[in-house]
Amino acid sequence: MFVQFDSLAKITPSFLILLVSLLSCKNQEKTQNNPSPSTGGIMHYPEEKHFKNMKQLTFGGNNAEAYWSFDGQKLTFQSDFKNWGADCDQIFWFRPFQDDLKSVVPNYISKKKGRTTCSYFMPGDSTILFASTCGNGENCPIVPERKPGGKYVWPIYNSYEIYISDLSGKVVEQLTNNEFYDAEGTISPLGDMMVFTSNRSGDLELHTMNLKTKEIKQITTGIGYDGGAFFSPDGKKIVFEHQDPKQIRKKWNILNC
């Protein structure tokens, strides 16, 4: 995991870490081939024209889906790093401007185990939203078998439900409870709505939940995957990924709330 420390205030937290995540994937192979960063832990490649002063934050396991707190001082993410006690993806948070994860273990959130994904700070930064299979037991669910040379496939576990935890790992609320995939949740900056992906209609569609009334509304209907959604800073629009089964690549769409 890498992060850029320049101009943090100019980009909203979710979009900044999205850009960083894309860059991290792009440079993963190069990092392995060039493991010696410049002094001070700063990562920079001559061919990179859009970022500078990149600092590596994690140093083991697979780390992903990292998102900023609303005050821009904390990150929540998922990791399967065994040195932190994770047998599969678990939720953690830390302070990237203070904590050095070379020597400090981040705060462990998903203490009910299972497999977890897609954590996101709630407004106020005292609670974190995430999806977990813990309702189906503490053990990590079976990972779909990959053929030699086969592409990575994201498993759609119908045991994923969405929870809210405090920063110590105590679950304070469960938002969904059914036999369908409910995950990839993010929160409106206004704190009133959640957008998430579910297959409760038979396809992977976007839904919103009014966090006060718990009313759920399906907002996409196209065939294919709809997910990875984020609210605009004013809470009036949603940007998300869509992939039609006939298309090779995903594309980004925007819709009104």
- Which tens digits make up the pLDDT trace of 132-164? 999 999 999 999 888 788 777 889 999 999 999
- Torsions phi, psi of 138, nearest 5? -75, -25
CB atoms within 10 A of CB 98: 9
- Distance in angstroms (rounded) separating the CA atoms of residues 203 and 217: 15
Per-residue confidence at 18, pLDDT binned at 50, 70, 90? very low
Per-residue confidence at 17, pLDDT binned at 50, 70, 90? very low
1 compared with 165, residue with greater pLDDT:
165
Q: Which two tokens stand for residue 154?
A: 């994201």
Check whether 234 has a pLDDT greater than 80. yes
Percent of the chain with pLDDT over 90: 66
149 compared with 99, residue with greater pLDDT:
99
Per-residue confidence at 3, pLDDT binned at 50, 70, 90? very low
Per-residue confidence at 250, pLDDT binned at 50, 70, 90? low
- Distance in angstroms (rounded) separating the CA atoms of residues 207 and 141: 25
211 compared with 144, residue with greater pLDDT:
211
For 60-140+153-183, CATH number out of 2.60.120.260, 3.55.50.30, 3.40.720.10, 2.120.10.30 equals: 2.120.10.30
Percent of the chain with pLDDT over 70: 80
* SS3 annotation, 122-163: CCCCCEEEEEECHHHCCCCCCCCCCCCCCCCCCCCCCCCEEE
Q: What's this model's pTM, rounded to 2 decimal places?
A: 0.80
CATH 2.120.10.30 domain range(s) in the chain: 60-140+153-183
- What is the structure's pLDDT at 32? 39
- Which tens digits make up the pLDDT trace of 25-53? 333 333 334 444 444 455 667 787 887 77
